[in-house]
Amino acid sequence: MNNIECKVCIIGAGPAGLLTYDYLAQYNIPTVVFESSCSYGGQCTAFYRNKQINGIPGLYNTSAGEFIQNIYNQCINKNNIILNANTDVINIKNNLFYLKNDDDIYICKYLILATGASSMKPIIPNIKGIEKFINDEDFLQFYCSNFEQYRNKKVVIAGGGDSAVDYAIEISNISNVNTNTKSSITENKILDISSIATVYNNVTSSNQPSLQSVIPNNVVLLHRRDKLKCNQNKLKLLNKVDVKLNQNILEIRKNLVITDKEEIHTNNVIFCYGFTYNNNFLQQLSKFGLLLDNNLINIDLNSMETSLKHCYAVGDVVKYPLKKKNIISCCFEAARVVNTILNKESLF
Ligand SMILES: Cc1cc2nc3c(=O)[nH]c(=O)nc-3n(C[C@H](O)[C@H](O)[C@H](O)COP(=O)(O)OP(=O)(O)OC[C@H]3O[C@@H](n4cnc5c(N)ncnc54)[C@H](O)[C@@H]3O)c2cc1C
């Protein structure tokens, strides 16, 4: 068993952990990142590698996979990003953290928690018949890592948040146009989608192609409420999607979704009802005084410090007023925690 001393240990190599690592490296602060899974990138690579990243100024037309690869390529000393790491907290004494990882004990002055959604498990809704398809990945999914599998397919996406809307937009861009069914927007009163109105207006005027050939509806976005809970700027991008609101799914059968209003034949169903978390590492730390709030960590926004001295948190695992779970928040929080450490080390 080796004792390895380093200034900072980061737990998690999602965007928050990688950005923090990269920024610390620019100041030559010895840092090790422990990632429990077999690849870096967190949700970006696990759940939406091919989707374009939204909401980061200056980053145009870049997929999540490319974004993560760029950060990784930029990181100095990639050897200190340890994948498949099985890390336990064994002690905190004299203001030092003792972490055990396989055969080594890492002793660090600062610990940064970037565990994000940690071991995410999709929420499986209680819908009749769904249990039969949990392992039928050709039909039922809870996230899409490869949009190509939906090319020319009819896809029902259930959910009304950003993930569901993002998936619907991406898939509608590659799904087939040759449909015979009229596209519809059910209950579109709350969807102020000017571009959809434009398409409808255009196709009803003379000399325009028929509605069937203009509006593909291979993608159905099905939401149980009367309003989508996504960034409202995305609504105009749903112009190739059948948005069906106020519909509850009652039953799932092979290639069939039965709602309280209709039956929809489909090749795929994707449920985007969120994820549940399971985080042993945080539970271990809570025995040393880390305060958890529903598996999330409250921090002091000035320093990103948790309730444990010299223990910080960044990314989706963090909770504070007006917190948004997105990458721009990760960037801000990474910069913030590094500045705190530089300040403490009198390097700022
Ligand atoms: C479908 C989808 C689309 C999205 N699209 C966008 C978008 O377009 N724009 C945007 O800004 N945001 C988007 N997001 C949100 C964005 O991906 C997250 O905000 C971001 O990934 C959070 O980064 P993170 O590093 O905090 O957490 P995560 O990405 O969850 O990464 C955490 C990492 O920590 C690891 N880990 C967990 N526990 C341990 C442990 N005990 N030991 C070691 N490692 C551990 C995990 O394996 C994981 O790799 C999207 C999210 C989803 C699900």
Domains and CATH numbers, the chain: 2-119+277-344 (3.50.50.60), 123-271 (3.50.50.60)
For residues 1 and 171, the model is more confident at: 171
pLDDT tens across 19-49, in order? 999 999 999 999 999 998 878 999 998 888 8
For the cut 60, the answer to whether the pLDDT of residue 193 exceeds it is no
Measured from the Cα of 316, ligand 1's closest atom is: 26
pLDDT bucket at 182, cuts 50 / 70 / 90: very low
| Secondary structure (DSSP) of 74-125 | H-S-GGGEESS--EEEEEEETTEEEEEETTEEEEEEEEEE--TT-S-EE---
Tell me the C-alpha distance between 104 and 121, whole Å. 29
| Among the listed residues 291, 282, 303, 311, the one whose alpha carbon sits nearest the alpha carbon of residue 96 | 311
pLDDT of residue 1: 82
Tell me the C-alpha distance between 88 and 36, whole Å. 11
Length of the chain in terms of residues written: 348
pLDDT of residue 120: 65
CB 165 within 8 A of CB 273: no
Ligand 1 pocket test, pick from 115, 221, 314 with the greatest ligand atom count within 8 Å of Cβ, gives 115
What value does the mean pLDDT take over residues 184-213?
36
| Secondary structure (DSSP) of 191-213 | ---HHHHHHHHHHHSTTSPPHHH
Question: 66-70, long-range: CB within 8 Å, 24+ apart, which pairs?
Answer: 67/15, 67/327, 68/15, 68/18, 68/40, 68/41, 68/44
For the cut 60, the answer to whether the pLDDT of residue 325 exceeds it is yes
Could you tell me the distance, in angstroms and rounded to a whole number, from the CA of residue 241 to the centre of ligand 1? 27
pLDDT bucket at 277, cuts 50 / 70 / 90: low
Tell me the C-alpha distance between 191 and 154, whole Å. 23
The reported pTM is 0.72
CB 5 within 8 A of CB 98: no
pLDDT bucket at 254, cuts 50 / 70 / 90: very high
Tell me the C-alpha distance between 167 and 49, whole Å. 12
pLDDT of residue 4: 96
| Ligand 1: lining residues by beta carbon, under 6 Å | 11-17, 34-37, 42-44, 47-48, 53-55, 85, 87, 114-118, 143, 163, 166, 279, 281, 315-316, 325-328, 330
Tell me the C-alpha distance between 149 and 55, whole Å. 25
For the cut 90, the answer to whether the pLDDT of residue 266 exceeds it is yes
CB 7 within 8 A of CB 109: yes
Tell me the C-alpha distance between 6 and 76, whole Å. 16
pLDDT bucket at 143, cuts 50 / 70 / 90: confident
Give me the percent of the chain exceeding a pLDDT of 90: 68
Tell me the one-letter amino acid at 60: Y
| Among the listed residues 223, 220, 219, the one whose alpha carbon sits nearest the alpha carbon of residue 248 | 223
Q: Is 46 exposed, middle or buried (0-12, 13-18, 19+ CB in 10 A)?
A: middle
CB 150 within 8 A of CB 168: no
Q: What is the mean pLDDT of the chain?
A: 86
Ligand 1 pocket test, pick from 68, 83, 326 with the greatest ligand atom count within 8 Å of Cβ, gives 326
Measured from the Cα of 325, ligand 1's closest atom is: 19
pLDDT tens across 223-237, in order? 999 999 998 889 999
Going by alpha carbons, the residue nearest to atom 35 of ligand 1 is: 12
Tell me the C-alpha distance between 42 and 115, whole Å. 9
> Cα–Cα distances in Å, from 175 out to 135, 136, 154?
24, 21, 8
pLDDT of residue 180: 43
